[in-house]
Amino acid sequence: MPTKPPDLIYGVDETPPTVPLILLGLQHIFIVTSALVFPVVILRAVGGSAEDTTFIVTMSMLAGCIGTVLQVMNRRGIGSGYLCPAACGPSYFAASLLAVQTGGLSLLFGMTAAAGAVEAFFSRFLHRLRFLFPTEVTGVVVTMMGIAIIPIAIQNFIGTGSGDPVSEPAELLVAAATLGTMIAASVWGRGGLRLYSVLVGMVVGYIAAALTGVLGADAIAQFIEAPLFAFPTIRHPGWSLDAALLIPFIIVVLSTTFKAIGDLTTCQKVNDTDWKRPDMTNISGGILADGLSAVVAGLFGGMGQVTSSSNVGLSIGTGATSRAIAYVVAAILLVLVFVPKLAAAFVIMPAPVMGSVVIYAITFIIVTGLRIITSRMLDARRTFVIGLSFTFGLAAGMIPGFSEGMHPLVQPVFASALSVATVTVLVANLVFRIGIAERQSLSLEPGTSFPDAIFTFFERFGGAWGARPEIIHKAESAVNELMELVTITGAADGQVQVDVKFTEEALDIDARYEGRPLDLEPGRLPVDLLADGGDVSRLPALLIRQYADGVRTDERGGECRVRLHFEH
């Protein structure tokens, strides 16, 4: 059972009252609907009609509704059970544009459904590939998810997100008022004000945009003229496949899978104070839901759906991660499909307001990713894994035309900072794993300078294994106390052989020596151990019991063994 962190107002298993629940859902809807810009841009790039654009946007909202419910279900192996809404994924953008240019909307829908099916199939084997996702890899992906969104967020923030190359003072004023209100409500607000920090900031942003003219008369007229209720127009062109596009879309699957792993790992971490490592069984269910969301999008006629990093960041910022919010988000998306006027309120969102919301969410995503990276010990190998991934990922985002001129089959890999960083960290992790053994040994001589040898050993291999620092320090201290006890009692006739085995779940130590067995039974430790005249020589035995999660001793043929177990 996860332990709710103190900074959460509503944890994953808690349900807010009705009114706060609806308002919290609305905050997430503003971010989800902002991602609808991707299918719009794709249709505009190929000269798509207004009817086709309306159709793909409507079906994308419907697919997002279903995908959000699938993700929050956590039943029969489907879904993670966390607040992690589905939205149009930027990772699908390059491959989707290529599909539309090659074979029209039918090819886009067919390849999207096929990509989702591959991701769903891959999710069934994810738990067997745990070695591919050490903590530093997950942390890099989470951090890069935030960094990759920065260009879009900043362009919107300064008012150039809609193709307008000029940033007006009024747009900067609206952006500053919106983001400033959100930050002030989060930092200095209490209770409800913090919960609705984004919604309050957006209301301020809309008002400022209307007063300064950033929200123009045309946008307001669009909202007024939109019908209150209407059935969506079905213009589905069918489905088609093209073998030449398999590689680009498989690369999309890898990117979205790693992205979802990062999003769901973040959800796990922020909802559990005692979080230690990603729960791959839970994540497998989340990846399955993510893949099924893309299948639904392709079948219905929408753009590929993925877990939304911005929404995860929003839930962290507001302190509300309740899964009940996800059902409200899904319900509102369903309503938007049939209520054009309500949808228009989101469509006309001023770019500075949209950029402010995304920047607010990015802040929490990046910091969470860095916390995941620094939760483990790092040696030179892991430092290179992290550093190289950030270097090449940032290069893809900073250098204009980074992927131009590359073959269309590999172009999606280099189309975004996130995809480049993801591929780099995956390959680098596999390369730098070479030569790392999960078993290591150390020989210690009682009565000599064994503390230095123990410290050097555990610091070296703790970093190579990427172990949690606190567990390595416990193991190091326990072995040190064991050697102190052996020295005090003279139990060993010679060297003590220490064998250490590390897995992601545990660290086990097997100490062997020739001589007399040690008495480490807890029932035999004196109560007055630290009292005047107490048997202080028994103190190492007590400390060993305090450091280790499990202690066993035995003797066979004159060989004594002490086994220490540490949960990792």
What is the residue range of 106's domain? 18-229+240-367
Same domain, 50 and 146: yes
CA distances from 495 to 323, 444, 479, 490 (A): 56, 6, 14, 11
pLDDT in tens, 269-278: 899 888 877 8
| SS3 state of residue 550 | strand
At 505, which CATH number? 3.30.565.10
Same domain, 100 and 199: yes
What type of residue is 333? L
Same domain, 253 and 350: yes
Lowest mean pLDDT among 57-66, 74-83, 161-170, 457-466: 161-170
Of 317, 338, 367, the position where a domain reaches its end is: 367
Q: Give the DSSP H/E element, type plus range, for residue 300.
A: helix 280-300
Same domain, 331 and 479: no
* Whether 408 contacts 306, CB under 8 Å: no
Q: Smallest Cα–Cα separation from 364: which of 423, 402, 314, 405?
A: 314
Lowest mean pLDDT among 156-160, 354-358, 392-396: 354-358
Lowest mean pLDDT among 37-41, 139-143, 399-403, 458-462: 37-41
Lowest mean pLDDT among 75-84, 207-216, 367-376, 465-474: 367-376
> Please, what is the Cα angle at 516 between 510 and 522, to 5 degrees?
65
What type of residue is 364? F
Q: Phi and psi at residue 409, in whole multiples of 5°? A: -70, -35
418 within some domain: no
Report whether pLDDT(1) > 80.
no
**Given this model, what pLDDT does residue 502 score?**
94
Same domain, 171 and 43: yes
CA distances from 181 to 27, 146, 169, 203 (A): 14, 21, 18, 10
Instruction: Tell me what the mean pLDDT of segment 24-31 comes to.
Output: 88
Which residue reads 């200095």 in tokens? 188
Mean pLDDT of the chain: 86
pLDDT in tens, 80-115: 999 999 998 777 876 888 889 888 999 999 999 999
Same domain, 461 and 363: no
What type of residue is 443? S
**Given this model, what pLDDT does residue 375 score?**
86
**Given this model, what pLDDT does residue 284 score?**
93
What whole-number distance in Å separates Cα of residue 375 and Cα of residue 277?
10
pLDDT in tens, 414-452: 777 877 888 899 899 999 988 888 899 999 998 878 999
pLDDT in tens, 119-137: 999 898 887 777 777 888 8
State the burial class of residue 522 (Cβ atoms within 10 Å of its Cβ: 0-12, 13-18, 19+).
exposed
Report whether pLDDT(458) > 80.
yes
**Given this model, what pLDDT does residue 526 score?**
53
Q: Smallest Cα–Cα separation from 136: which of 404, 418, 467?
A: 467
Instruction: Tell me what the mean pLDDT of segment 23-37 comes to.
Output: 84
110 within some domain: yes
Q: Phi and psi at residue 441, in whole multiples of 5°? A: -130, 155
* Whether 84 contacts 335, CB under 8 Å: no
493 within some domain: yes
For 238, other C-beta atoms within 10 Å of its C-beta total 11
173 within some domain: yes
Same domain, 477 and 334: no
pLDDT in tens, 284-316: 999 999 999 999 999 999 999 999 888 998 898
Same domain, 356 and 449: no
Domain count, the chain: 2
98 within some domain: yes
Of 310, 343, 367, the position where a domain reaches its end is: 367
Same domain, 57 and 182: yes
Of all residues in the chain, what percent are helix, strand and coil, respectively (each to 5)? 65, 10, 30
End-to-end Cα distance, the chain: 17
136 within some domain: yes
Report whether pLDDT(159) > 80.
yes
Q: Give the DSSP H/E element, type plus range, for residue 471.
A: helix 469-489
Instruction: Tell me what the mean pLDDT of segment 185-208 comes to.
Output: 84
Residue 524: how many CA atoms within 13 Å on its side-chain side?
Answer: 6
Same domain, 103 and 246: yes
Q: Give the DSSP H/E element, type plus range, for residue 435.
A: none
Of 367, 393, 417, the position where a domain reaches its end is: 367
405 within some domain: no
What whole-number distance in Å separates Cα of residue 159 and Cα of residue 161?
6
**Given this model, what pLDDT does residue 528 score?**
54
| SS3 state of residue 497 | strand
Same domain, 217 and 136: yes
**Given this model, what pLDDT does residue 41 score?**
65
Lowest mean pLDDT among 81-85, 361-365, 527-531: 527-531
**Given this model, what pLDDT does residue 453 score?**
93
**Given this model, what pLDDT does residue 205 score?**
93
**Tokens matching residue 60:** 């994308």
| SS3 state of residue 179 | helix
Instruction: Tell me what the mean pLDDT of segment 253-267 comes to.
Output: 85
Q: What is the DSSP string of 200-215?
A: HHHHHHHHHHHHHTSS
398 within some domain: no
Report whether pLDDT(408) > 60.
yes
Lowest mean pLDDT among 178-182, 323-327, 432-436, 498-502: 432-436
Report whether pLDDT(234) > 70.
yes
Same domain, 335 and 448: no
| SS3 state of residue 439 | strand
Q: Phi and psi at residue 518, in whole multiples of 5°? A: -90, 150
